[in-house]
Amino acid sequence: MTQKFKISDRVQFVAGNKHRLGVIVSEKDKNSYIVEDDHDTYIIQKHNLAPAPVLVVVPSFIDDYIKNSPHLTSYGAIRQVLHPDSTENILADELVNWVARYPEKFARAWLDGYEVEKEPLYYVKVLNRGLGYLNCDTGAGEYFIDSRNNDDGIKTQYTETEIKALNEKLWECAVPVEEEAE
For 162-182, what is each residue's pLDDT tens digit?
Answer: 899 999 999 999 999 885 554
- Residue 123, SS3 per DSSP: strand
Q: Where in the chain is the domain with CATH 2.30.30?
A: 10-51
Other CB atoms within a 10 A radius of the CB of residue 110 amount to 22
Q: What is the CATH number of domain 10-51?
A: 2.30.30
Please report the pLDDT score of residue 2 as a whole number: 62
Secondary structure class of 43 (helix, strand, coil): strand
Residues 103, 117 contacting (CB under 8 angstroms): no
Q: Can you give the pTM of this predicted structure?
A: 0.56
Confidence of residue 126 (pLDDT cuts 50, 70, 90): confident
